[in-house]
Chain A
Amino acid sequence: MKLLQPSDWDQIAVTEKFQQLLREKRRFVIPATVFFIVYYFALPVLVGYFPGLMSKKVLGPLNIAYIFALSQFGMAWTIAWLYVRAAERFDKLAQQLKNDGERR
């Protein structure tokens, strides 16, 4: 593969296919990031400012604080799994772009 010129990169950047890749990535990554940050910081905020509420027992000896903390693990794994599924689509687009680019 010959070295790509600066103008080549600019041309690829404006192609519909590349713009579609960026759009699809953003459509997953931005909401997922916002969600996990809000979900995660809800924990220290609630635990820090409303310890009474969070200490309420809901499941035998387990209180809201502990169950919420435990749910963070499930949340992180779920988002990771969803991302891997979504990324299969990104990979296909990226591979096509890569093939096009290497043919330049």
Chain B
Amino acid sequence: MTIALAMFLGFVTLTLAITAWAARRSSGSVSYFAAGRRINAWQNGLAVAGDYMSAASFLGIAGLIAFNGYDGFMYSVGWLVAYLTVLLVVAEPLRNAGKYTMADVLAYRLNPRPVRAMASLSTLTVSTFYMIAQMVGAGALVSLLLKDSGIDFRTAVIGVGALMIIYVVFGGMLATTWVQIVKAVLLVAGTILLSLLVLAHFGFSFTEFFNRVTDVRYHQNGVEVTRNFLEPGLRYKPPYGALDLISLGLALILGTAGLPHILVRFYTVPDARTARMSVVWAMAIIGTFYVMTTFLGFGAATIVGRDHIAANGGINMSAPLLAKALGGDVFFSFISAVAFATILAVVAGLTISASTSFAHDFWTNVVHRGVERSPGEEVRVARITACVVGVVSIAIAILLGPSANVAFLVGLAFAVAASANLPVILLSLFWRRFNTTGAVCGLAAGLASSIGLILVSPSVRGPGAPFPLDNPGIVSIPVGFLAAWLASLMTRDTSSEQKFSELLVRANTGLGAEKAERG
């Protein structure tokens, strides 16, 4: 597996060169936190796509389809449609009215200290859970793929963590953005290549390909079974399957527009129009990728087979094993290196959004009431936070170990984003009567209910758990909205209502919006 190692080192070298370049150009807060707001539409589109298509997409969804057929493909659909919420509702107002973080938009007309403190807590929660999932995934993958070169789980986790700290601390948002762009290009290229090889295997006949998909054989409890993988119901079974699907859909559609590491991307572009066009670019890239998961997943199911995948590293190895079956060791190494690149880029994106929120929302605005005590303090605090977040994630990932069930962590991230973040973003932008008490209660209730329900769900407690659904969205999202709404109605805060017009005008026209740096 030394080819895989060589390709991975190639990617690392390239990204470190990007970091060095970015570090030389970077000076000041706007440059560090928002890449000077000079990223253009296609660049940001690729970066959004890169931040979004994590290992959960590439390895996870390919595996879900390879093992569960159609039900796995349902994930792919939700992952793209979710961007309509980002496009139609969130991206432009955010760019027009904010500066560095999601909380900027909330702080406009609400009492900034309590709101920023809660929003920062929720951002750190989402990012940390998401990141630990990625790091455990990375460690498990590396120890599987590179077991011949003497790299074990712990070394892999430390390596990924150290690299991500370097990108973020030295290169800031500019380096993180370009790492995402490189990774997105690699990921899409790898996926197209793999899809073409799958089609070539079936003589470029879609009919032949789909005919095989309707007739997939594998062993279940020692008995050979034949299934039509285009039929729904292999994973989501009665009595709760349908509700779980709807709950997952809600978490995706409403959660994506509340993911802090996606939202901060819209501050890196010069204006709202560019933010909009970058979402469209992202939708083209993400959509193309998820359509192709058809070939990855069904290809792995038909060409490699569920039995072989289960015996050779398990569900998450479906895409790499498919690459090995079709393109031999070199292609296997390439796809594996793409998977590492994917994870590395995503953890860097998560780290910068977490440290930006801590430095900007919590340190400067909550602790020091909006005043930077010395020039560059905010950036310095963000750099220290990035180190702390990195070290803590490395430690937790190592403690959890390679066999940890991490799927629920990513589910949790989306559920928290949908239940805590999105309700307050929407109400703050569209409801004049919304106030500080409502925002704090909404964030707290959404955070507590989504975490609480996950803890008693089957993904943590196993079958027969007190809460029957894997995804808490269908309950926790209404709880978040309801808490925000009721708490607002119970209190009156005329200053929030008076400033609504200002936010409305700013969000819709871009009047007074943060400008791009000259350069």
Query: Secondary structure at chain B's binding surface: helix, strand, loop or mixed?
Result: helix
Contact partners of B291 in chain A: CB under 8 A: 70, 73
User: Contact at A10–B501, with CB atoms within 8 Å?
Assistant: yes
User: Contact at A98–B510, with CB atoms within 8 Å?
Assistant: yes
Partner of B505, one of A9, A49, A87: A9
How many Å lie between the Cα of A85 and that of B328 in the bound state? 46
User: Contact at B509–A33, with CB atoms within 8 Å?
Assistant: no
Task: Please give me the residue from chain B that is nearest to A13 by CB atom.
Answer: B501
How many Å lie between the Cα of A19 and that of B309 in the bound state? 59
Partner of B81, one of A13, A22, A36, A65: A36
User: Contact at B231–A80, with CB atoms within 8 Å?
Assistant: no
Q: How many residues of B contact A (CB 8 A)?
A: 56
User: Contact at B246–A44, with CB atoms within 8 Å?
Assistant: yes
Contact partners of A21 in chain B: CB under 8 A: 508-509
User: Contact at A29–B88, with CB atoms within 8 Å?
Assistant: yes
Hey, what's the 0/1 contact readout for A8-49 against B, CB within 8 Å counting as 1? 011011000010011001000100110011001101110111
Contact partners of A44 in chain B: CB under 8 A: 74, 242, 245-246, 248-249
Contact partners of B499 in chain A: CB under 8 A: 6
Contact partners of A45 in chain B: CB under 8 A: 242, 246
Distance of A50 from chain B, by nearest CB (Å):
9
Known: A32-B88, A40-B249. A101 touches B77 (CB 8 A): no
Hey, what's the 0/1 contact readout for B212-256 against A, CB within 8 Å counting as 1? 011000000000000010111100100001110110110001000
Contact partners of B467 in chain A: CB under 8 A: none
Distance of B38 from chain A, by nearest CB (Å):
20
Task: Please give me the residue from chain B that is nearest to A88 by CB atom.
Answer: B273
User: Contact at A87–B287, with CB atoms within 8 Å?
Assistant: no
Interface residues on A, range: 35 or more
Partner of B207, one of A25, A61, A101: A61
How many Å lie between the Cα of A73 and that of B83 in the bound state? 11
Hey, what's the 0/1 contact readout for A87-98 against B, CB within 8 Å counting as 1? 100010010011
How many Å lie between the Cα of A84 and that of B70 in the bound state? 32
User: Contact at A69–B74, with CB atoms within 8 Å?
Assistant: yes
How many Å lie between the Cα of A75 and that of B82 in the bound state? 12
How many Å lie between the Cα of A35 and that of B110 in the bound state? 32
Contact partners of A22 in chain B: CB under 8 A: 504, 508
Partner of A55, one of B84, B89, B231, B284: B231
User: Contact at B498–A84, with CB atoms within 8 Å?
Assistant: no
User: Contact at A18–B73, with CB atoms within 8 Å?
Assistant: no
User: Contact at B81–A72, with CB atoms within 8 Å?
Assistant: yes
Q: List the interface of chain A (C-beta within 8 A of B).
A: 4, 6, 9-10, 12-13, 18, 21-22, 25, 29, 32-33, 36-37, 40-41, 43-45, 47-49, 51, 54-55, 60-63, 65-66, 69-70, 72-73, 75-77, 79-81, 83-84, 87, 91, 94, 97-98, 101-102
